[in-house]
Structure 1
Amino acid sequence: MNLKFDLSGEWEFKASSSEFLPQELRTKLSIWNKAKVPGTIHLDLLANDFIPDPFFETNEIDVQWVDKVDWIYRKKFLLDFDFSDFHSVKLTFEGLDTVGSVKLNGEIVGHFNNMFIPHSFEVKNLIKSGENEIEVFFKSPTVAGKELEEKYGKLPVELATHRVYLRKAQYSFGWDWGPVLTTSGIWKPVYLEFIKFAKIKHVWFKTLSISNSKAEISAEIELEKFTEDDLDLKIEIFYKDEKIYERSLIQKKRDRVRAHRFEIISAKLWFPNGYGEPELYTAIIEISKDGEVIDKITKKFGIRTVKLIQEDDGEGESFIFEINGEKIFCKGANWIPADSFLPRVRKEDYDKLLKMAKDANLNMLRVWGGGIYEDDYFYDKCDELGIMIWQDFMFACAGYPEYDEFVDNVKNEAIQIVKRLRNHPSIVLWCGNNENEWIWVDKTQKSPDEMPGAKIFRDVLKEICEQYDGTRPYWRSSPWGENYPNSEINGNHHQWKVWSQWIDYKNYENVKAKFITEFGFQAPPHIETLKEVLKPENRNFNSFSIHHHNKQTEGIPRLFRFLTSHFKITDDFEDLIYLMQLNQAEAIKFAVENWRIRKFKTAGTLFWQWNDCWNVISWSAIDYRKRPKALYYFAKKFFNPVLPVLKRIDDSLKIYILNDLPRQVSGELIVRTFTTYGAKKFEKKIKVDAEKNSVAFAFESNLKGLKVEDFQTDYIHAEFKYNDGRISENSIYFEEPKFMKFKSPGLKFKISKVDENLYRLKLYSKNLARAVFVDFSGFDVELSDNFFDINPDSTIEVELKSDKTLSELLKSIRIKFLT
């Protein structure tokens, strides 16, 4: 059988150029030092105490010399077995960041200039029994990019202009939420492949058609063959643990791609989260020669169709995803790389962030074009969880080069990426780039086809997606529209007038776009996440350090500008964090509910952003340490499949019942008017039927009829009880929190142990307790809900997951609410 010889783990590194090295490090970095692969140069420098933690305080500024230096990595290893019977020996790097060359035993075996794809070199004639040595040379990405920019000319680029000349994660050059930490290194696993006859290179299960009785599937299996020998090929298909199909074939001579059609009777279909189960099948493919298995691969796949519906909807042209014939309202967020140093991202990180997405009722994530094509494990998890992926190609906020070598590099990258990812049912759209055309048109008033790099996004990527996939739509850019890239009447839309152009979030109500792929509002991370990177004296909004940890120009001033519009201002640092998180959550809630009641005139809302890559004040719902902000808990509710939405129009109130479920819901809507000081002034019960996948208009009244008299004390709460007692609820307040009159809520709580590491927190409030935030000082406790309201004379139960004792939880609990 083919063999893999792992070469990850312990390596060595040293500097290959000295011009930009700090004087005190020149001697140390001229000799070999310990390195770890997968890794990056910054992580190796940090592990050897050559640089401080770049995330701490303003240390990022002090490590800017690192990306200007050339580096060499090497590994010595022993081969103590006979490999003469193998037809090929490949030295394979799954990821090299970004420009350089590879030597084996003193001979150059190849060059590389793209971090997004694997690099594999034939080395059978160079590898030897006994000791071998690999050297990998990394040219400074900053120098490499600037040399190409000098040769071909400066292009219209946001942020670092030289970045566009390198096929490298663009965010590493700095972004308005990310530090300038431009990495180099062997960032993915490396190994030797010893191959007999052939290896399985790509496997793709393509859904050809679906009917009520069966699904027709094409299995496309691509081999890399090294001889003319015929090979035996076996395909086995399993649903759960039951084998449902098996076929043996012969792969003739030099045939490299084998397409085999088969049928699955009563096929189980893959659906997004909330619309059905994300059903998956398991395939085992093996090739053998004379009864000996040569290579074997296990691959999961889903059966589903995807269509983008673009048709006249009376307001313009729709933009609706249809999965298996079912229209989907897309509820989600934008995904960025989960660390500035990518090798630090583990499977456990993906597990937590993606499970949190499913738990918050998200059904789509957009993999943003300034980051990376994510690890296979990321897409595997999205397949399992039913999270659809809007997949950008890795281009962002710039015009790009069009000289032949660059375009050829892009073509090779795109082909490899499409082949690697096309088997994932979660990916429902390929997108050419992030904001390139929109920025170009706004700044130049010229046609998007005049933009440098236009042919890549208009022609090259589209043709590759059609040729090597064709089962999902290709979209030129995000945003993109027919007559204007950021149109509101067709295509998809990025909404940045709010926040970035200093407009407050109530303006979201005026936005009637078809599919909003970016919109956002900033908030600080959890206090413990900031404490990791700020000295005690800098934990305030007047410090240079905290401004350094907000990368948007005038980011901190915006936080205060929008906070003062809605909340009382305090000088307490932790209270400000609490209020700013609330402000962010209220902003995105207002936007999402406004667009959800327009279903399917608006068919998707993906807020910016889901996660962070370092300890930063940003637009994220979950901070770098995976601590949820208020926005996360709000998202659980405003993305709820069934939700009452209350809209005030002048002196009237309308209530809608949103139903994203693929079945009708029937229930009772209870509308109550409360005062903040505990009185119930009005109650009405209404029977409501909401058709499947629809919006039902449920109730309308003027405010006077609802006994709303004082906006500073009166508010309305709606509770919808449906299908076996499930409850979805929402409230509307008529005055800004800073002007509301709150009484002491008379809050009482009790924590009881339910099971191992599982507790129940009960909270009772005599009066309204608004925006109750529960925290456990010094402990990370997972809460099922937070930042919630407790209506007068009501009790709320919250599940707590923690390995701490009951005594520790009781001593550490801290509760905040609006006053």
Structure 2
Amino acid sequence: MTRLHLHDGWRLSTDADIPVTLPAGGVTATVPGCVHTDLLTAGLIDDPYLDDNETRLTWIGRTDWTYRTTFTWRRDGHDRTDLLFAGLDTVAAVSLNGTVLGETANQHRGYRFPVRQLLHEGHNTLEVRFTAPYTYAEDLRDRLGDRPGAYSEPYPFIRKMACNFGWDWGPTLVTSGIWRPVTLESYSGDRIAQMRLLADTGTDGVPRLTVALDVDRLDGTGELTAEVEVAGERARLTVPEGHSCGRVSLSVPGAELWWPRGYGEQPLYEVTVRLGEQEQRARTGFRGVELEREAFRIAVNGEPVFVRGVNWIPDDCFPSRLTRERIAARLDQAAEAGANLVRVWGGGLYESDDFYELADEKGLLVWQDFPFACAAYPEEQPLYDEVAAEARENIVRLAPHPSLVLWCGNNENLEGYADWGWQDELQGRTWGHGYYHRLLPGLVAELDPTRPYWPGSPYSGAPSRPPQDPTRGTVHLWDVWNRVDYRTYADHVPRFVAEFGFQGPPAYSTLRTAVSGELALDSPLLAAHQKADDGQGKLLRGLGDHLPQPRDLDDWHWLTQLNQARAVAFGIRHFRSHAPYCMGTVVWQLNDCWPVVSWSAVDGEGRRKPLWYALREAYADRILVVRDGAVYVVNDGPRIWEGTLRAARRSLSGAVLAEAELPVGCAPRSVSRVELPAELTEPGDKTRELFVAELGGQRVVEFYAEDTEVAFPGAELTARVEPLGPGGGDGYRVTVSAHTLVRDLALFPDRLDPAAETDRALITLLPGEQAAFEVTGALLPDPSALAKRPVLRCVNEAHGAD
């Protein structure tokens, strides 16, 4: 078998009347890529991520485009040749040497066309003509009848990344293009058309591999035999005469089990399948997955896992720009923040092979939504067959990955039908029920019975129950952020929280790059990077009595970032303290696709927001949570946590007003309640006292009143800046000594250099304590600026001395 990549020599053109002038013959196109990035590279459009440029580029998604290239082909000694498109976005007609090979209408699947008889010795012309996504989707909407959804965009009528059409954190940048590789593949004889791998622990606990082959046969005569090899074990797979499918299962007793991070190692094994002269390889790991449905408790290899999760959206509006290195960096940020699961949200994509391979290696569990989100989706043709085809392809593609532990039918569509008034609008029209309750579970059961399927989120386990029943299944908690204070999280005790979050702005350097001109709270360009309904108002109202209202943009940036971090951490800590009744939190969201004010912990330029540091604390294996007159000792580690809990009520000056030493023995993967004596829970003056508890290197500091009520002293501190290496080339250590109480000390070195970052944030110091920050990534002309506002911040910096 020989393969020829067809990524060179492409030109992009259009016959439409457009606001820019293309050169004769079109512009140079990058494949894989898309129209937006090609026009940007050609200098014909401004960067859609900057200022409000996005609003002037809607014409791109309403224009038909043509990609064309010429390639050289010579006879190669093979009998058959196919043209493979791993991904076309989205509605296209493919032609070779003037003959139409086929039409496509699905970004979520690949295409194979037999082309041997059409190839010319020497030069060949390949053309892909894209119909504007809006044209296709709106025509289908007119034919099938409109459907309700969260946004007045036609994304339910085209099998394409829904958030391309805009979201409450993303721009409307509707793409077309050849977004995944193009290959010419030549071969002779029978071809392995599909290899499906299912690896689990078997019924007896011994690792087991099942291999199923679909073979594209020249004819049906004769029996075919393939050889399967994994971890030193071999088996023969037979395709009987007259058939095109074969299957074999083999025990692999020498293989070790794959575990999620924090529970064990992640051994991976190469599987080799040989059929004649063909050889296919894949990598897999062995593990078992179970879902206790009422409690929504995920168990791996029989071990229940408290899910410390993050939601994942496409990391770029133009996913062809994503490299393996960038995905690795983002997943590393998830793991370093303490996450053990990434939920691939349903308004995006089935992600690249790189994504799942890296999740396998890093021990990050993956919850995969099918691509349906926040709308009623029609089930009529041609959409129904497209959904079935994409689901079949991707279920098989992702089956080898041990990290993938759950298939979920959709995001919020079951809730939309039940609770958002859709039924009246639909008037009996289809909305997706058949996908989520029949088609998709049937395909998962047929193609990948090693993994559980869940119809949607939120969902309580049966169509007859309210989707947001907190006693069963999953819930999404959006009353906080939209309507109520984040302390309301304490009123919820759900089984599993699959979405909840709070907004905050991106890093200052990210915002500064994205917005030209003056940055001000009332800047229209800043507003262009806030997509949530009344987002700015909710940010300011969300400060509540937790933090003061900002006086200027610097205060707004610092206080709203801090409030985001506190809100999400408060929710996580509360939910974790209710384990094992509650067995999971999946924060909305890990990442961004562009520079924007959003719910993310890592912004669109990959910079960590204060929320990321708060996640790292709240998602640590061991934490202490103060609530209801007690300290809850949360131990999600593999060993017992025992020792003496030292708890004290102190004045703001640090003086001990009351204290207690309480013995603790908390078993692995459990929570213990330690009752506090009244002298620790009842302050003499709630505005001038605080509570501190410590156990085994973990500390929790809580105040008896909100920050706006606390009589904070003016922050008195000294900061010493010294290089980590000769000349500061390795970075800097900033050592802060507190002479008074210092509340939530943070460092923002990116304000001095966009490449600079710090290793920690949000540290509360008692009088006499020190904290050291390591700043890396930049050589600064004036390192002393690290010790000054607005780089060095704390809550009580603006308070006068008490």
Q: Does the alignment reach a TM-score above 0.5?
A: yes
Residue 568, structure 1, aligned to residue 563, structure 2: no
Shift of 1:182: 0.6
Aligned mate of 1:371, from 336, 348, 360 = 348
Letter in 2 for 1:284: T
Residue 381, structure 1, aligned to residue 358, structure 2: yes
Residue 508, structure 1, aligned to residue 485, structure 2: no
Write the deviation string for residues 130-180 of structure 1: whole angstroms up to 9, x where unpaired.
Answer: 111111000000011111111111112221342211000000111111111
> Aligned with 2:252: secondary structure?
strand
Residue in 2 aligned with 1:68?
A: 62
Residue 790, structure 1, aligned to residue 781, structure 2: no
Aligned mate of 2:585, from 605, 615, 626 = 605
Maintained 8 Å contact 1:480/1:492: yes
> Aligned with 2:373: secondary structure?
coil
In the alignment, the residues of structure 1 paired with residue 655 and residue 672 of structure 2 have an alpha-carbon distance, to the nearest angstrom, of 30
Within 5 Å, give how 1:309-324 maps onto structure 2.
309-310=292-293, 317-324=294-301
Aligned mate of 2:625, from 640, 645, 658 = 645
In the alignment, the residues of structure 1 paired with residue 666 and residue 430 of structure 2 have an alpha-carbon distance, to the nearest angstrom, of 47
Aligned mate of 2:668, from 688, 692, 695 = 692
Shift of 1:389: 1.3
Letter in 2 for 1:296: Q
Shift of 1:754: 6.2
Maintained 8 Å contact 2:193/2:216: yes
Within 5 Å, give how 1:70-149 maps onto structure 2.
70-79=64-73, 81-83=74-76, 85-149=77-141
Shift of 1:271: 1.7
> Aligned with 1:771: secondary structure?
strand
Residue 284, structure 1, aligned to residue 296, structure 2: no
Within 5 Å, give how 1:745-784 maps onto structure 2.
745-753=716-724, 757=730, 760-776=733-749, 777-784=752-759
In the alignment, the residues of structure 1 paired with residue 400 and residue 680 of structure 2 have an alpha-carbon distance, to the nearest angstrom, of 56
Residue in 1 aligned with 2:702?
A: 732
Within 5 Å, give how 1:39-438 maps onto structure 2.
39-79=33-73, 81-83=74-76, 85-197=77-189, 198-199=191-192, 201-207=194-200, 209=202, 211=204, 214-226=206-218, 233-238=226-231, 244-247=232-235, 256-265=244-253, 267-289=255-277, 294-297=278-281, 299-310=282-293, 317-438=294-415
Distance 1:451 1:139, change over 3 A: closer
In the alignment, the residues of structure 2 paired with residue 250 and residue 750 of structure 1 have an alpha-carbon distance, to the nearest angstrom, of 70
Maintained 8 Å contact 2:715/2:740: yes
Maintained 8 Å contact 2:199/2:207: no
Maintained 8 Å contact 1:671/1:684: yes
In the alignment, the residues of structure 2 paired with residue 129 and residue 750 of structure 1 have an alpha-carbon distance, to the nearest angstrom, of 69
Letter in 2 for 1:519: F
Letter in 2 for 1:627: R
Q: More strand per residue: 1 or 2? A: 1
Maintained 8 Å contact 2:310/2:587: yes
Distance 1:792 1:140, change over 3 A: same
Distance 1:806 1:545, change over 3 A: closer
Residue in 2 aligned with 1:581?
A: 561
Residue in 1 aligned with 2:715?
A: 744
Maintained 8 Å contact 1:87/1:226: no
In the alignment, the residues of structure 1 paired with residue 474 and residue 360 of structure 2 have an alpha-carbon distance, to the nearest angstrom, of 24
Residue in 1 aligned with 2:799?
A: none
Maintained 8 Å contact 1:16/1:69: no
Shift of 1:485: 1.4
Shift of 1:41: 0.7
User: Size of the alignment, in residue pairs?
Assistant: 781
Residue 718, structure 1, aligned to residue 710, structure 2: no
Residue in 1 aligned with 2:800?
A: none
Worse-matched range after superposition: 568-577 or 489-498: 568-577
Write the deviation string for residues 309-367 of structure 1: whole angstroms up to 9, x where unpaired.
Answer: 13xxxxxx422111111111111111000011111111121111101111111011111
Write the deviation string for residues 197-217 of structure 1: whole angstroms up to 9, x where unpaired.
Answer: 3246324132151656x3233
Letter in 2 for 1:735: A
Distance 1:815 1:701, change over 3 A: same
Shift of 1:455: 0.9
In the alignment, the residues of structure 2 paired with residue 319 and residue 579 of structure 1 have an alpha-carbon distance, to the nearest angstrom, of 36
Shift of 1:74: 0.5
Within 5 Å, give how 1:697-708 maps onto structure 2.
697-702=673-678, 704-705=679-680, 708=683
In the alignment, the residues of structure 1 paired with residue 642 and residue 430 of structure 2 have an alpha-carbon distance, to the nearest angstrom, of 53
Maintained 8 Å contact 2:543/2:560: yes
Maintained 8 Å contact 1:670/1:685: yes
Residue 521, structure 1, aligned to residue 502, structure 2: yes
Letter in 2 for 1:288: G
> Aligned with 1:168: secondary structure?
coil
Letter in 2 for 1:744: A
Letter in 1 for 2:332: K
> Aligned with 1:90: secondary structure?
strand
Shift of 1:95: 0.7
Maintained 8 Å contact 2:313/2:344: yes
Residue in 2 aligned with 1:464?
A: 443
In the alignment, the residues of structure 2 paired with residue 31 and residue 387 of structure 1 have an alpha-carbon distance, to the nearest angstrom, of 47
Shift of 1:793: 1.6
Maintained 8 Å contact 2:201/2:287: no
Letter in 1 for 2:741: L
Structure 1 residue runs without a partner (length 5+): 239-243, 311-316, 722-726
> Aligned with 1:43: secondary structure?
helix
Maintained 8 Å contact 1:215/1:263: yes
Maintained 8 Å contact 1:78/1:131: yes
TM-score by length of structure 2 reads 0.93
Shift of 1:810: 4.8
In the alignment, the residues of structure 2 paired with residue 412 and residue 154 of structure 1 have an alpha-carbon distance, to the nearest angstrom, of 24
Residue in 1 aligned with 2:473?
A: 491
Maintained 8 Å contact 2:367/2:405: yes
In the alignment, the residues of structure 1 paired with residue 744 and residue 369 of structure 2 have an alpha-carbon distance, to the nearest angstrom, of 36
Aligned mate of 1:663, from 628, 631, 639 = 639
Shift of 1:64: 1.0
Maintained 8 Å contact 1:90/1:123: yes
Write the deviation string for residues 659-697 of structure 1: whole angstroms up to 9, x where unpaired.
Answer: 112332223322233333343444433331111111011
Shift of 1:78: 1.3
Maintained 8 Å contact 1:437/1:451: no
Maintained 8 Å contact 1:272/1:388: yes
Letter in 2 for 1:8: H
Shift of 1:397: 1.1
Shift of 1:408: 1.0
Structure 2 residue runs without a partner (length 5+): 797-802
> Aligned with 2:676: secondary structure?
strand
Maintained 8 Å contact 2:379/2:432: yes
Worse-matched range after superposition: 511-520 or 788-797: 788-797
Shift of 1:768: 2.0
Letter in 2 for 1:346: T
Distance 1:75 1:664, change over 3 A: same
